[in-house]
Chains A and B, each alone.
Chain A
Amino acid sequence: DGGITQSPKYLFRKEGQNVTLSCEQNLNHDAMYWYRQDPGQGLRLIYYSQIVNDFQKGDIAEGYSVSREKKESFPLTVTSAQKNPTAFYLCASSIGSRLGYTFGSGTRLTVV
């Protein structure tokens, strides 16, 4: 079955470390997105990519970086510059504006 796979499900980061969250889709979707969700809050857009080798900043891109070298993959790196990285991170993809998003199951990142 097609879908989006996020890994790992839980991730612990030490202060000052960079960590990379994986997002892979086999839906042949062109567009991919990263959102951050804090407890009791909505989703905030970090980065999005509409095509391979191109991506745009969302509303809270500072302290994060992405790459889109393959259509299937859109990894997110949380850098040491992100001062409050503890959150639930969601990856999504889409093939068109009238079909909505498909979401992954999320990665919960905790700074220890």
Chain B
Amino acid sequence: GNSVTQMEGPVTLSEEAFLTINCTYTATGYPSLFWYVQYPGEGLQLLLKATKADDKGSNKGFEATYRKETTSFHLEKGSVQVSDSAVYFCAPPWGSSASKIIFGSGTRLSIRP
């Protein structure tokens, strides 16, 4: 079945540092890929998505490129802020035949002022 391997946390960075959270996937077909973010005490929000190979999803300064050749969808941000402190989830590929997503434990990111 479809699955992901996501970098384990916690990750602690200083403000304005460069962020990478690695995510690799296994899947059949051509699934869409997603990153979600969960701020403290809240539900998950869709951060960005990509629906085909070489697509780049972007939002709030975050980017991730759908790399079919390396089966990766790494999340990056050039200059993190304290407000980016949250848990980030790389969602397993969800192809046309799948009806549910099984989430991992995510990567907790803490940004120091």
Residues of B within 8 A of A108 (CB): 41
Q: A97-B94, A103-B43 are in contact. Are A35 and B99 (CB under 8 A)?
A: no
Q: Kindly state whether residue A79 has any CB partner on chain B within 8 Å.
A: no
B74 interface residue (CB < 8 Å to A): no
Given known contacts A42-B105, A42-B106, A31 and B46 CB-to-CB distance under 8 angstroms: no
- Which of B96, B102, B105 sits near A97, CB closer than 8 Å? B96
Return the contact of B103 from the options A6, A42, A97, A104 (Cβ within 8 A): A42
Across the interface, which residues of A come within 8 angstroms of B105, CB to CB? 40-42
Answer whether residue A105 sits at the interface, using C-beta atoms and an 8 A cutoff. yes
> Nearest A residue to B93 by beta-carbon distance?
A97
> Known contacts A40-B105, A42-B106, A97-B32; is A104 also within 8 Å of B43 by CB?
yes
The residue in B42, B44, B105, B108 that gathers the most chain A C-beta atoms within 10 A of its C-beta is B44
- Does B73 make an interface contact (CB < 8 A)? no
CA distance A59 to B103 in the complex (A): 12
Asked if residues B99 and A48 are in contact (CB atoms below 8 Å), the reply is yes
Minimum distance in angstroms from A95 CB to a CB of chain B: 12
Least CB distance, B9 to chain A, in whole angstroms: 10
Give chain B residues whose Cβ lies under 8 Å from the Cβ of A43.
Answer: 44, 89, 103
Interface: B80 (CB within 8 A): no
Instruction: Please provide the chain B residues from 82 to 110 with a CB less than 8 Å away from any CB of chain A in the complex.
Output: 89, 91, 94-96, 98-106, 108
Q: Does A50 contact B (CB under 8 A)?
A: yes
Q: Which of A45, A90, A100 contacts B32 (CB 8 A)?
A: A100
Q: What is the minimal beta-carbon distance from B88 to any residue of chain A, in angstroms?
A: 12
Contact residues in A for B103 (Cβ distance below 8 Å): 35, 42-43
Assess whether B100 is in contact with A90, with CB atoms less than 8 Å apart: no
Beyond A41-B105, A45-B102, A100-B91, 6 extra complex contacts between A and B, CB < 8 Å: A58-B100, A90-B43, A92-B44, A101-B46, A105-B42, A108-B41
* Contacts A/B (CB < 8 Å), 19 sampled: A33-B100, A40-B105, A42-B105, A45-B102, A48-B99, A48-B100, A58-B100, A90-B44, A92-B43, A92-B44, A97-B95, A98-B94, A100-B94, A101-B36, A101-B91, A101-B101, A103-B44, A105-B43, A108-B41
